[in-house]
Amino acid sequence: MQKVAIVGLPNVGKSTLFNRLTRRKSAIVSDIAHVTRDRKEALVDFCGLRFIAIDTGGVADGGEIQSLVKTQVQLALENADVVLFVIDAQRATDSHSTALGKWLSKITNKPIILVANKCESNKNNVHVDTMEYLGFLGPVYISAEHNLGMADLYEAIAPLIEQSERPKKDQDRPIAISIIGQPNVGKSTFVNSILGEERVITSGIAGTTRDSISAEYSYKGITLLLTDTAGIRKRTKVTENMEKLSVQSAIHALSKSHVVILIVDFTQGISQQDLSIASTAIKDGKGIVLALNKADLVNDKAAEDAILNAIRQYSRVDFDVPIMKMSALENIGCDKVLSKAVKIYESASTHISTSKLNKWLGTAIDYHPPHLQNKKKVRLKYISQVSTLPPTFVIATNSTEVESTYQTYLKNSFLKHFSMQGVPIRMIFKKGNNPYISKD
């Protein structure tokens, strides 16, 4: 498998970019220990583009390049097929950056992509003279911390990396599902009901926090990692510290999850703490299932609608959250909740063909064309998928000023067309042309 090395001065965001590419969940291939820093390698799956990312230590920005770090970077360059030379966009003309660039060009003939990081503000205000960087490819403007410009980075890397055949199923990586909610809503009862159905527990794994427990479980031939989190408590003077630790535990489990099952006591309704965690999950690109426990005690459609509306209003996003009724104690509907979570993961990790995407886009536009912007017709020319988990799509258009209401329409149309309820999707509108239309 081909390798991509990330190189640059200290504090330019190399590790942040490494974590962004690997999503902090990728399987670690190896950790190569050095005296001063570690060089880490991890598997990256960037929308079917699979490669090994190498995170190197920062080359000291002094007059002398430290010998150990220099050796480390040289080893990375020898093993790499592509090099990402990361610079701080706010210090693009720094003499140490240009000196490192010249050194890189001398010791390797591998393709080098210049990546200008920390472009949180308008990239038009940042000027990188590629001549100072010896004609490297790019520059590609990104903010690794804020997940900006990753589609552009994909477009820069893709032509240089041979597409590896995507395995049909990754048996080595379980689907991580976190069970969250207030105390006594039935989280542990739900987990015990699931584990007790087939009684196939691969292993019990102690969580990184004191009060979260994870267990691997084989479900219909699929390995799941179920995490039972601590209850999210209401703030009181007596239990404020306990509540804070519990919320931190739930958020930590959420960050490591692919899908979240939010369990609510149907007889009590949903709390602000529940809504806060649900909002965090959605904004973090996690799939989510809302499970109304103790549903055998309630039969109220109005109460169900009120809970869903509360989630949408609090999170301020248009998102089709699936609501599942169950009774963990009676083991009614638990399997359906778990099945929905697995389906959401499978949908979120699916790469949809470009032809299918553009066929849908054409139909959506024909049914409801976009409104004029500044008296100009907005043309949506082409759509392609650039990543999964969450599914992210780039739409080429003649104007990036697409009304938020129309963006919502497109997302809802997409979710309905591709049957992806519970999957948070992201659409990026970018000026560009359809690459499949020939130019005369």
Q: What are phi and psi of 176, to 5 degrees?
A: -90, 120
Which amino acid makes up residue 207? G
Complete edge-to-edge strand list for the sheet that includes strand 49-55: 28-33, 38-46, 49-55, 3-8, 82-88, 112-117, 137-141
Q: Is the pTM of this model over 0.95?
A: no
Q: For domain 354-431, give the CATH superfamily.
A: K homology (KH) domain (3.30.300.20)
- Using an 8 Å Cβ cutoff, are 266 and 297 in contact? yes
Annotated binding residue 14 = yes
13 in a known ligand binding site? yes
Pick from 308, 327, 326, 333: nearest CA to 318: 308
221 annotated ligand-binding residue? no
Return the ∠ at Cα 92 (arms to 18 and 59), rounded to 5°.
50
Which helix (H) or strand (E) element contains residue 275?
Answer: helix 272-283
Mean pLDDT of 383-400: 89
Please check if 119 is assigned to a binding site: yes
Which phi and psi angles does 92 have, rounded to 5°?
-65, -30
Q: What is the mean pLDDT of residues 174-197?
A: 85
The reply, when asked if residue 296 is annotated as ligand binding, is yes
Q: With respect to CATH, is domain 175-348 assigned 3.40.50.300? A: yes
Tell me the domain boundaries of the chain: 3-160, 175-348, 354-431
Q: Is 174 annotated as a binding residue?
A: no
Does 132 have pLDDT greater than 60? no
Q: Is 228 annotated as a binding residue?
A: yes
DSSP string, 311-376: HHHHHTS-----EEE-BTTTTBSHHHHHHHHHHHHHHHTPPPPHHHHHHHHHHHHHHSPPPPBTTB
Q: Is 188 annotated as a binding residue?
A: yes
Residue 108 among known ligand-binding residues: no
Contact, 260 vs 324, CB < 8 A?
Answer: no
Residue, of 73 and 29, whose pLDDT is higher = 73
Whole-angstrom Cα distance, residue 278 to residue 260? 9
String of DSSP letters for 370-384: PPPBTTB---EEEEE
Exposure pattern of 103-129 as b/e (b: 16+ CB <10 Å)?
ebeeebebebbbbbbbbeeebeeeebe
Q: Does domain 3-160 have CATH number 3.40.718.10?
A: no
Does the annotation flag 185 for ligand binding? yes
The answer to whether 58 is annotated as binding is: yes
Say if residue 105 carries a ligand binding annotation.
no
* Type of residue at 352: I
Alpha-carbon gap, residue 182 to 274, rounded angstroms: 7
pLDDT digits (tens, 9 = 90+) for 33-91: 332 244 577 778 876 788 888 888 766 544 444 554 576 688 788 888 999 999 988 87
Q: For residues 115 and 121, give the distance between their C-alpha atoms in angstroms, rounded to a whole number.
A: 15
What's the CA gap between 132 and 148, in Å, rounded? 24
184 is in an annotated binding site: yes
Please indicate whether residue 212 or residue 114 has the higher confidence score (pLDDT): 114
Mean pLDDT of 191-214: 51
Residue 402 has pLDDT above 70, yes or no: yes
Q: In sequence order, which residues have a C-beta less than 8 Å from that of residue 318 and are 6 or more positions away? A: 312, 408, 411, 412
Residue 164 has pLDDT above 60, yes or no: no
Query: Mean pLDDT score of the chain, rounded to an integer?
Result: 77
76 or 326: which leads in pLDDT: 326
257 appears as a binding residue in the annotation: no
Q: Which of 389, 440, 437, 391 is nearest to 414 (CA)?
A: 391
Query: At 340, is the pLDDT very low, low, confident or very high (cuts 50, 70, 90)?
Result: very high
* pLDDT tens string 352-365: 999 999 999 999 99
Q: Is 175-348's fold the same as 354-431's?
A: no
pLDDT at 410: 94
Residue 182 annotated as part of some ligand binding site: yes
Residue 232 among known ligand-binding residues: yes
Pick 257 or 46 by higher pLDDT. Answer: 257
Q: Is residue 8 a known part of a binding site?
A: yes
187 is in an annotated binding site: yes
Q: Is 337 annotated as a binding residue?
A: no
231 appears as a binding residue in the annotation: yes
Is 12 annotated as belonging to a binding site? yes
DSSP code, position 293: E
